[in-house]
Structure 1
Amino acid sequence: MAKVLSPSKMAHVVLRTGQFDKMREFYKAFLGGQASYENDFISFITYDDEHHRIALISVPGTGPKIRTSAGLEHIAFTYESLADLTLAYQQRKALGIEPVWCVNHGPTTSIYYQDPDGNQLETQVDNFDTVEEATAFMTGPFFGENAIGTDFDPEELIRRLQAGEDEKLLKKRVEIGPRGLPSEIF
């Protein structure tokens, strides 16, 4: 059987919520976005050239997220540079949106957040210039030993960036040996 034709891109994610007003204000702030359309039960939010990237639907009877249930783990958003990633971190922090986890996975440097419903959001920057370089790291011994990554302090990362350290060097993962899933996140 032939391989299925792959899509050209991922267009959007739709989230069901019982906290519609809190969620739509959160996502507009988190993404620096705006609603391309919304009413009292649906909101289509965009921040780029797509008409919407996140849609929120208020569904009566929607209960709170159960962290241990199967389903979507997180949604990831990519930035062009470490400077952009940390600037967005600082802007979110000024709005009271604090990260729940900061980790250099190896292929990416990532800052995770949680929305009002408990859905996780990853903001990231690619650590390699090409997909081939990232794949080579992911098939190498360090990633095999630790596919989760090494935690970092975003404030220290900002200090180092502002001191003029090279972004490429700052994105290189510090190797810590074997690591499993952190229980406070998963």
Structure 2
Amino acid sequence: MGSIEQTDFDNVGTKVLSPSTLAHVVLRTGKFKEMVDFYLNFLGGTVTYGNDFLSFITYDEEHHRIALIGIPDTGPKVPTSAGLEHVAFTFPTLSALLLAYRQRKARGISPVWCVNHGPTTSMYYKDPDGNMLETQVDNFDTNEAANDFMTSKYFAENPIGTDFDAEELIQKIKHGVPDAELKKRVEIGPRGLPNLA
């Protein structure tokens, strides 16, 4: 007989056990059909379960990554209220990030902000309710290298990043400019947060 691993529930340790992964985000909406259509297009997703007021959407191995709950008396988002700022989705390469950008653009979904933060090259979008979504690619090959940049004088001076033009990046890729060069942040000095409200 194999041994059964015993958990010591009385040994609470020095910190809480971390989850293994972030499973999903659930959004309440008064624009149910519009939001379902948006997320299916935005994520290249499929509905694993849906009815007149619930939609569970996935784009990978998880049964759902985004769930939408349609509640008719839901008021509009207040951009200045406290709450979730954005949800981020990572792509494996700069070319994949930019291809998804072009595919969304062809479906009428355009970013509201394109910025190289340093650790990531990121594109921000808004859904029909005004929730912010980030699509990104990591700019460094290791977490250690990203952490080194985040503790550098450049990041201390400008933790927001440098804006970029997605179409210019696509043209540079087409002309053979290496990703490592395109992912390197252009240093512009201090800057504040943009107004994306």
TM-score (norm 1): 0.98
**Runs of 5+ consecutive residues of structure 1 not aligned to the other structure:** none
Give the secondary structure class of the aligned counterpart of 2:147. Answer: helix
Report the CA distance between 1:60 and its aligned residue: 2.5
Give the secondary structure class of the aligned counterpart of 1:88. Answer: helix
Distance 2:34 2:71 in 1: 14
> Paired residue for 2:146?
134
Q: Does 1:76 align with 2:59?
A: no
> Paired residue for 2:137?
125
> Paired residue for 1:33?
45
RMSD (Å), alpha carbons: 0.8
- The CA deviation string for residues 113-169 of structure 1, in whole angstroms up to 9 with x for no partner, is 000000000000000001111011001100000000000000000000111100011
1:2-21 equivalent positions in 2, closer than 5 A = 2-21=14-33
Question: How many residue pairs end up in the alignment?
Answer: 185
Distance 1:95 1:24 in 2: 14
Q: Does 1:164 align with 2:176?
A: yes
> Paired residue for 1:176?
188
Identity %: 69
> Paired residue for 1:42?
54
Distance 2:27 2:178 in 1: 38
Report the CA distance between 1:59 and its aligned residue: 1.4
- The CA deviation string for residues 66-123 of structure 1, in whole angstroms up to 9 with x for no partner, is 0000000000000000000000000000001011000000000001100000000000
Rg larger in structure: 2
Distance 1:148 1:54 in 2: 27
Give the secondary structure class of the aligned counterpart of 1:116. Answer: coil
Distance 1:51 1:164 in 2: 38
Structure 1 residue ranges, 4+ long, deviating more than 4 angstroms after superposition: none
> Paired residue for 1:144?
156
